[in-house]
Structure 1
Amino acid sequence: MWRLICCLLPLPASADALITNRVIKAGQMIEAADLSVVQADIPGTLSDPARVAGQEARVMLYPGRPIREDQVGPPTVIARNQVVGLSYIAGSLAISTEGRALDRGSVGDVIRVVNLSSRNTVHGRVMPDGTVRVSPSEG
């Protein structure tokens, strides 16, 4: 009887959590050597080093503390206040100029940019080459 009771009792779940081995400042790239996996049951933490290595720290990460998903992200391609190429493409119309980024962004992010010629603020998508593309749906 006691065996049946023991089998039916909930046991604490054991899971892995990812921690850093050193202090990683916000904006720094995270390398595989910076990471360790520990056994801990902490909801909302990452556990796969392959998913974090090569990402950028969004906040300061301290050694021994679990890493949450919102603390890391893709590397920043465009920094705030950086002068960037700005392009608008609609059908056969293509316009290129320069703008100043009002936000930082990674590839695929939509950021605000001030067109340096017209001083208008537009929204555009960060491209892999570090330019910002404004489209009719995002402009």
Structure 2
Amino acid sequence: MLRSFVIAAALLAATSGAALAQSEQDTLAQPSLRASVTVSSDIVRIGDIVENAGSAAQIAIFRAPDLGTTGSLPVAQLLTALRTHQVIGVDTRDLREVSITRSSRTLVSKEIEQQIARVLERRNGLGDAANITVTFERDLRELQLDAAHTGDMRATIVRFDPRNGRFDITFEIPNDVTYNPTKLRFIGTAVETVEAAVLTRAVERNEILRSSDVVVERRPKTEIGNDVINRDRSVGMQARKQMRAGQALKTADLGKPDLVSRDQGVMLIYEAPGLYLTGRGKALDSGTEGDIVNIVNLQSKRTVQGVVTGPGQVTITAPGPRLTTAALSNSEPTAAPAPESRKAE
């Protein structure tokens, strides 16, 4: 029994001695500088910069850089500050300066715009958030908040005037450390926009739009209305009026391109059951595919009506009685009835 006690005491002594030696080693470990550190507070403590600072670790010695920025601290200046707090014998590791970064939460303007759009979505006649364009009263690039602000932006005050699109919104963001939320207020305008086809140059009446003439831009819905036309549909269409560069196109501004122009020489095609005749004519009207235009038959000098069926091509279809020999002379459709009015020539 006595022997067991002696062995246990010896083991305890050995263990305690090892623990004490380890504790003394930790206590006596030489303090040394860190090359770079990141702090979340507005002050820099000795323990942030010096490893193994011991009881002096919580002593504040410098102000931290601004939120989201990095500063450099010369080692000579740092050692002077440490000596005033009896921290000596610090291993500098041959460093000339220590880099200190202040952590932060960055709110970029795009994120704030999206949050405001979500708050105003379908409010007072506005549409989806994705179609709401936000403009701030003052230029806003980005905001830096303390890193402890980890919560979501929550709108607490929302004011919106649909007559002029002005908003005044206050958000709160909780702080995990102080539990006091930060308030952010934003003022500006919000308008619902749509994608519109916009002219890159001035266009004259009857011009055909090319691909390079039209780009896509977002424009206020109040400017475009419901008569919006997309870019793909506008290319190849004909301008119905003169328009300026930068003008957003509407469906009413464009039409199918004319296949027949006024005073243009055209091919006349006369179709009847079992009969197909061609001749030459002169257009008295302009028209696109499917339009009814007046044509002068150059052989008979009579005016007839036909349907535009192709570039420089007008077709007259006769559903009526068999043609006479006179009507077929010279293979010209000289006295064909109009397909719509059925008026005799």
Q: TM-score, normalised by structure 1?
A: 0.81
Amino acid corresponding to residue 127 of structure 1 in structure 2: T
Q: Sequence identity of aligned pairs in percent?
A: 27
Name whichever structure is richer in helix by fraction.
2
Structure number with larger C-alpha Rg? 2
What SS does the corresponding residue of 2:310 show, helix, strand or coil?
Answer: coil
Kindly state the Cα deviation for residue 9 of structure 1 after the two structures are TM-superposed.
4.6
What's the CA shift string for 1:68-94, capped at 9, x where partnerless? Answer: 212212222211011111121111122
Q: How does 1:47-126 map to 2 (within 5 A)?
A: 47-126=229-308
> Residues 19 and 35 of structure 1 are in contact (CA less than 8 Å); yes or no, is this contact kept in structure 2?
yes
Residue 40 of structure 2 corresponds to residue 40 of structure 1? no
- Shift of the 79–8 alpha-carbon distance from structure 1 to 2, 3 Å rule, reads closer
| Structure number with higher relative contact order (C-alpha < 8 Å, ≥ 6 residues apart) | 1
Aligned length: 134
Q: In 2, Cα distance between the equivalents of 1:68 and 1:83?
A: 32
- Shift of the 40–96 alpha-carbon distance from structure 1 to 2, 3 Å rule, reads same
For structure 1, which segment, 122-131 or 96-105, has the greater mean C-alpha deviation from structure 2 after superposition?
A: 122-131
Q: Which runs of 5+ in 1 are unaligned?
A: 1-5
Residue 126 of structure 2 corresponds to residue 12 of structure 1? yes
After the TM superposition, list the runs of 4 or more consecutive aligned residues in structure 1 that deviate by more than 3 angstroms. 6-9
- Shift of the 97–7 alpha-carbon distance from structure 1 to 2, 3 Å rule, reads closer
Q: TM-score, normalised by structure 2?
A: 0.36
What's the CA shift string for 1:90-125, capped at 9, x where partnerless? Answer: 111223221110111222222111112222222111
Amino acid corresponding to residue 254 of structure 2 in structure 1: V
> Residues 18 and 45 of structure 1 are in contact (CA less than 8 Å); yes or no, is this contact kept in structure 2?
no
What SS does the corresponding residue of 1:50 show, helix, strand or coil?
Answer: helix
Q: In 2, Cα distance between the equivalents of 1:52 and 1:8?
A: 30
Q: In 1, Cα distance between the equivalents of 2:278 and 2:203?
A: 38
Q: In 2, Cα distance between the equivalents of 1:65 and 1:129?
A: 29
For structure 1, which segment, 30-39 or 98-107, has the greater mean C-alpha deviation from structure 2 after superposition?
A: 30-39
Residue from 158, 175, 200 that aligns with 1:21? 200
CA RMSD of the aligned region, Å?
2.2
> Residues 80 and 101 of structure 1 are in contact (CA less than 8 Å); yes or no, is this contact kept in structure 2?
yes
Q: In 1, Cα distance between the equivalents of 2:249 and 2:207?
A: 14
For structure 1, which segment, 7-16 or 114-123, has the greater mean C-alpha deviation from structure 2 after superposition?
A: 7-16
Q: In 2, Cα distance between the equivalents of 1:63 and 1:39?
A: 15
1:31 is aligned to: 210
Q: In 2, Cα distance between the equivalents of 1:62 and 1:130?
A: 30
Q: In 1, Cα distance between the equivalents of 2:229 and 2:314?
A: 33
- Shift of the 39–132 alpha-carbon distance from structure 1 to 2, 3 Å rule, reads same
Kindly state the Cα deviation for residue 38 of structure 1 after the two structures are TM-superposed.
2.3
